[in-house]
Amino acid sequence: MSGFSTRAIRAATQAPRVDQRPNSVPIYQSVTFSSADADELGEVLTDKRSGYAYARIGNPTDESLAAAIAELHGAEAGFVFASGMAAIHASLLSLVRAGDRIVCTQAVYGSTRSLLVNVLGGLGVRTTFVDPTDIEAIEAALEAEPTRVLYVETISNPTIVVSDLAVLAGLAHRHGALLVVDNTFASAYLCRPIELGADLVVESATKYIGGHSDVLAGVTVGSRERIARVRAIQTDTGASLAPLAAFLVLRGLTTLAIRMQRHAATAASLAGWLEGRPGVARVFHPSLASHPQAETARRQLRLGGGMFAFELTGGREAGRAFIDALTIPERTASLGSIHTIVVHPPSTTHRQLSDGDLAAAGIAPGLLRCSVGLEDLDDLVADFGHALDAAGAVTPPLGGERVAAPPTPAPAGTTAAVRG
């Protein structure tokens, strides 16, 4: 008979036989998977046979999540990562080499810009930044010299610019470039860039897909051929998604539609209420008729989404006062959560940018980005009203004296806009 330790190890690692299908994807919390013989192990490790050997290369829970997100995007395949930035990193590395060039939207997430300029730039990949809504400027940039990738965000972070993906896909392909789209602010529920011509789509699954600020993950979807190249990069760089994290994102995915409907309805009502308020210079939400790309948003997005931005006339000081006066939103980073989150991009998400870069990206000193959660609209309106009063108290009017803004009660019927 075998010794105690041998028997304990064998007994404790025998998976039970399950003849009934589980209604949730199991968490395959194992780094290694056994093969029947050496030949099978070699074929699995070299992709000559489907299967699993080592979790950095593949895990069943991870692959279930990747397949589910790919299906919702209308893509052939997907691959998941430990974070959204890991997905962006691997996706771009699968496409560019030293000497290649990327054309990127000027309004882009700060860490993405840092990756392009500092990391890929240090490896000999050049990036040119352009206004995603200036089609002539984009075409001129693509014509100026060979370009490998045109990189845009469906809804830009933090200025809420809506890129016309079908037009940009046509431009990119006509000039021999590939279109890579960050769809984080939209999710597959609002927009499916693959169906509009994108070659790869990346998302931070930490945000709307997970939806609860309790899991970190990223995903890339595209054709089987392109995802195979992305997977190869991940295998060698190691940004593997833990199976428990994949399970949590899968759970979030099941309620994505109803959460996005609530996020979008509340955001549209709150943004509309903010328009024209004392101390508010501009509000940017895709559902507003005043949005510069309102027509593009109407064609491309199912709903306006849960993200909006607004600019306070009092600049940085007013923005700080506004955030500090809020009692419902969390003072934290990230977005796409059940919690409403308001941030000041120049000092948080885009802190890597110089004042000149901020201005070029359209990020004003008083710009605030709001990720609307699932709280009740009436409560958010009241809280934002008090915060506007606080911001107004530090905003000098034209006469020069500091005065508090007038009270900002919610208009009649605000709640019905969400509950109807």
* 269-315 pLDDT per residue, tens: 999 999 989 999 999 999 999 999 999 999 999 999 999 999 999 98
Q: In angstroms, rounded to a whole number, what is the distance separating the alpha carbons of residues 206 and 282?
A: 29
Q: What is the pLDDT of residues 124-175, one digit of tens each?
A: 999 999 999 999 999 999 999 999 999 999 999 999 999 999 999 999 999 9
Backbone angles phi, psi at 293, to 5 degrees: -115, 40
Q: List, in order, residues 6 or more apart from 407 with CB less than 8 Å away.
A: 385, 389
DSSP string spanning 189-236?
HH--GGGGT-SEEEEETTTTTT-SSS---EEEEE-HHHHHHHHHHHHH
Q: In angstroms, rounded to a whole number, what is the distance separating the alpha carbons of residues 4 and 156?
A: 60
What's the pTM?
0.90
Average pLDDT over residues 28-45: 94
Q: In angstroms, rounded to a whole number, what is the distance separating the alpha carbons of residues 12 and 184?
A: 41
Backbone angles phi, psi at 133, to 5 degrees: -95, -5
Q: What is the pLDDT of residue 322?
A: 95
Nearest 5°: the CA angle 151, 155, 158 is: 95
- For residue 81, the one-letter residue type is F
Q: In angstroms, rounded to a whole number, what is the distance separating the alpha carbons of residues 300 and 179?
A: 16
Q: Name the percent of the chain lying above pLDDT 70.
A: 91
Q: What is the pLDDT of residue 129?
A: 96
Q: In angstroms, rounded to a whole number, what is the distance separating the alpha carbons of residues 142 and 150?
A: 8
The Cβ of residue 99 has, within 10 Å, a number of other Cβ atoms equal to 11
Q: Under CATH, which number does the domain 257-419 receive?
A: 3.90.1150.10
Q: Do residues 384 and 272 touch, judged by C-beta distance below 8 A?
A: no
Q: Where are the domains of the chain?
A: 61-253, 257-419
Q: In angstroms, rounded to a whole number, what is the distance separating the alpha carbons of residues 201 and 136?
A: 24
Alpha-carbon separation of residue 70 from 139, 194, 200, 254, 339 (angstroms):
30, 10, 11, 14, 27
Q: Which residue has the tokens 């000081």?
A: 317
The residues annotated with a catalytic role in the active site are 56, 109, 182, 207
Q: How many CA atoms lie within 13 A of 338 on its CB side?
A: 7
Q: Which two three-digit tokens encode residue 416?
A: 């019905």
Q: What is the pLDDT of residue 407?
A: 37
Strand pairing of 149-153 and 178-182? parallel
Q: Which two three-digit tokens encode residue 156?
A: 């830009």
Residue in 147, 195, 197 with CA at minimum distance from that of residue 168: 197
Q: What is the pLDDT of residues 330-381, one digit of tens each?
A: 889 899 999 999 998 877 666 666 677 777 767 888 899 999 999 999 999 9
Q: What is the pLDDT of residue 98?
A: 98
Q: In angstroms, rounded to a whole number, what is the distance separating the alpha carbons of residues 103 and 43?
A: 39
Q: Do residues 382 and 407 touch, judged by C-beta distance below 8 A?
A: no
Q: What is the pLDDT of residues 393-416, one digit of tens each?
A: 984 544 433 333 333 334 333 333
Q: What is the pLDDT of residues 71-90, one digit of tens each?
A: 999 999 999 999 999 999 99
Q: In angstroms, rounded to a whole number, what is the distance separating the alpha carbons of residues 219 and 360?
A: 29
With cut-offs at 50, 70 and 90, classify the pLDDT of residue 326: very high
Q: Under CATH, which number does the domain 61-253 receive?
A: 3.40.640.10
Q: Do residues 329 and 339 touch, judged by C-beta distance below 8 A?
A: yes
Equal fold, 61-253 vs 257-419: no
